[in-house]
Amino acid sequence: MNRSANQQPGYIKITPSTGDARFPSFLQGFNRRWAAENCQAIYLCHTPEGTAHALDDAFALYHHQIKIKSGGHCYENFVFNEDTRAIIDVTPMAAHNYDEKKGFYLESGGTNWTAFQGLFRDYGKVLPAGSCYSVGLGGHICGGGYGLLSRLNGLTVDWLTGVEVVVKDEAKGNAYPIYVSSDSTNSEELDLYWAHRGGGGGNFGVITKYYFRDLPTAPKAAFITGIAYSWDELTPSLLQKLLDFFADFSRRTDNWRQFGIFALNHKAAGEMHLTFQTVVLPDEDAETINKQYVNPLLTALRAIHPYQLITKPGIAQHSYLLRNSADTVLYTFYEAVQLLNGSGTNQRGKYKSAYMRKPFPEDQVAAIYKWLTMVPEGLPSDGMQQSLLQVDSYGGRINLMNAGDTAIPQRSSILKLQYQTYWSQERYDQYHLDWIRGFYTDVYKHTGGVPDPNNDSTKNVDGCYYNYPDIDLNGRDNDKGKALGLYFGINLDRLKKTKRRWDKNNYFVSSQSL
Ligand SMILES: Cc1cc2nc3c(=O)[nH]c(=O)nc-3n(C[C@H](O)[C@H](O)[C@H](O)COP(=O)(O)OP(=O)(O)OC[C@H]3O[C@@H](n4cnc5c(N)ncnc54)[C@H](O)[C@@H]3O)c2cc1C
């Protein structure tokens, strides 16, 4: 490994002038729309103290144009953009371990996959977190950490008991690491701990470790069910019935071991996909769980409309089910995580999100049907094959918490929606952006074009998820307060107060930072 010129204790600095072959690879992440083409330095951080030295060096040289990067999976350009001059990269810190006093810890440079492997293999524990293997823990956990075990076990931040974060506290001069936790007695430190339970990355400092005094016990197996509905048969009325069924499934309180993903793929993809994971816990008998949970689910779905096996590739987690000859297969839990671990390929993408507390009203289903059957003029006919509305089940144990317990206020929703569209060529950017914006605005036309709970007399929509950031939420006047209100609701004031205390100089800034 080339530990060139500017080696410092605890970090390695790479600059373009070193002619380092690695440099271009550090300037881009998962979404190929974003690049940090003017970046002057990458700081590869190996220790918390090294991270503090790196931050001091970067602030002195590049002022407020420094970004923190873990997995590089941010949907928007918060890390990689034309103003970025330096990147604090935490990926060399990716270990996990158990601390007698503070519990399990994960370093922030790991990924969903390294976290799963380490916790499962070494302790039989799991995070309830995301299913996509390559997502970085740095941004993922502090933004919420939601995944296929969340109905059973809640959000990852519900389990977070401490965090080690390198802060640049002006009163104290140089940057330094601090450990804050549920046991912190100082109220400002308690605020900092609380803010990391959903307040999102890139706001307060560089997170180096996440601590969990306890974690959920891993299941031993999982039934994975994958079924499809052909667009040849999909009418608005069938879509409404399926969405009603899915909302009812998600609202129930007797099936938290089950998680559903309903991929409402665009008509160009040929079929919609419904996937369920039903876990079997260590002391349980798989066949009993099958009879009690999986069979009734499939019987109810058959009564709505005959489904088929998956025959066409969807995006990410559905492709693996293509070759199955049965609607449901039992896997060991490790296999199940591997199977549902599809991040998809790096390409251009745009995303939007929404929480819902109730089933879909008719006007929303009509809008969904309309936009999923529309191909923007000028795009090739297969141009929308990777465009969809993904409806995930929410609720379950997530809703046992109160809105202010963590920074994530959405504690009464039953569904979490993710609008997504992917493409490969820059010349198609505008078509996809216009399509997803038109789609979203139409679905939320009665609540101001966004899922604004303060504008919804039916008390259904409940804002958006910070880890699925959407720059359009700033509105035409580019007011990030609007977006932050949708993400954080009643928790916004405490988050802003914490930001003012711990990052007075607003060193950590993005187009949707606090
Ligand atoms: C394919 C894919 C699948 C996803 N699946 C899920 C899912 O199942 N569940 C879910 O909840 N979310 C999911 N997400 C969203 C994901 O949680 C967020 O995109 C998350 O912020 C990514 O974190 P990262 O470290 O990879 O990204 P980065 O781009 O590195 O960082 C994202 C943000 O966090 C900041 N940040 C990164 N590291 C640190 C750190 N150490 N300290 C402080 N700030 C930091 C960055 O500055 C940036 O603002 C998915 C995203 C993608 C692209």
Centre of ligand 1 from the C-alpha of residue 469, in Å: 10
Q: Is 343 in the pocket of ligand 1 (CB under 6 A)?
A: yes
Q: Is 138 in the pocket of ligand 1 (CB under 6 A)?
A: yes
Q: Residue 365's closest CA among 434, 301, 417?
A: 417
Q: What is the DSSP secondary structure assignment for residue 64, as one 8-state letter? A: T
Instruction: Identify the band that residue 170 occupies on the pLDDT scale cut at 50, 70 and 90.
Output: confident
Q: Residue 210's closest CA among 167, 160, 175?
A: 160
The amino acid at 344: G
Segments making up each domain of the chain, as ranges: 11-89, 96-217, 221-477
For 379-423, the DSSP string reads: S-TTTTTTEEEEEEE--GGGGGS-TTTSS----S-SEEEEEEEEE
Q: What are phi and psi of 476, to 5 degrees?
A: -65, -30
Whether residue 84 has pLDDT greater than 60: yes
pLDDT value at residue 255: 98
Rounded to an integer, the average pLDDT of 14-33 is 92
Q: Is 68 in the pocket of ligand 1 (CB under 6 A)?
A: yes
Instruction: Identify the band that residue 322 occupies on the pLDDT scale cut at 50, 70 and 90.
Output: low
Q: Is 341 in the pocket of ligand 1 (CB under 6 A)?
A: no
pLDDT value at residue 254: 97
Of residues 50 and 171, the one with the higher pLDDT is 50
Q: Is 69 in the pocket of ligand 1 (CB under 6 A)?
A: yes
Q: Give the residue whose CA is nearest to atom 49 of ligand 1.
A: 202
What is the best residue among 64, 88, 108, 135 to mutate for testing ligand 1's pocket, by most ligand atoms within 8 Å of CB? 135
Helix extents (H) in 305-405: 333-339, 362-372
pLDDT value at residue 17: 83
Atom of ligand 1 nearest to the CA of 30: 53
Q: Is 78 in the pocket of ligand 1 (CB under 6 A)?
A: yes
What is the best residue among 67, 87, 140, 398 to mutate for testing ligand 1's pocket, by most ligand atoms within 8 Å of CB? 140
pLDDT value at residue 29: 96
- For 226-261, write each residue's pLDDT tens digit: 999 999 999 999 999 999 999 999 999 999 999 999
471 burial level (CB within 10 Å; 0-12, 13-18, 19+): middle
Number of H-type helices and E-type strands within the chain: 13, 16
- Helical packing angle, 236-251 and 362-372, nearest 10°: 120
Q: What span, in angstroms and rounded, lies between the C-alpha atoms of 401 and 268?
A: 40
- For 326-374, write each residue's pLDDT tens digit: 899 999 999 999 888 777 789 999 999 999 999 999 999 999 999 999 9
Q: What are phi and psi of 188, to 5 degrees?
A: -70, -35
What is the best residue among 467, 484, 506 to mutate for testing ligand 1's pocket, by most ligand atoms within 8 Å of CB? 467
Q: What span, in angstroms and rounded, lies between the C-alpha atoms of 191 and 194?
A: 5
Q: Which CATH class is domain 221-477?
A: alpha beta
Q: Is 110 in the pocket of ligand 1 (CB under 6 A)?
A: no
- For 289-309, write each residue's pLDDT tens digit: 999 999 999 999 999 999 999
pLDDT value at residue 131: 75
Instruction: Look up the pTM and report it.
Output: 0.96
The encoded tokens of residue 334 equal: 């490790």
What's the chain's average pLDDT? Answer: 94
Rounded to an integer, the average pLDDT of 398-406 is 98
pLDDT value at residue 146: 96
Centre of ligand 1 from the C-alpha of residue 135, in Å: 6
Q: Residue 150's closest CA among 485, 411, 459, 440?
A: 411
pLDDT value at residue 7: 53
Lowest mean per-residue pLDDT among 59-68, 148-157, 239-248, 335-344: 335-344
Level-2 CATH architecture, domain 96-217 = 2-Layer Sandwich (3.30)
pLDDT value at residue 280: 98
Q: Give the residue whose CA is nearest to atom 21 of ligand 1.
A: 139
Rounded to an integer, the average pLDDT of 363-391 is 95
pLDDT value at residue 8: 57
Percent of the chain with pLDDT over 70: 96
Pick the CATH number of 11-89 from 3.30.43.10, 3.40.190.10, 3.30.1240.10, 3.20.20.240: 3.30.43.10
Instruction: Identify the band that residue 6 occupies on the pLDDT scale cut at 50, 70 and 90.
Output: low
Q: What span, in angstroms and rounded, lies between the C-alpha atoms of 449 and 470?
A: 13
Rounded to an integer, the average pLDDT of 201-218 is 98
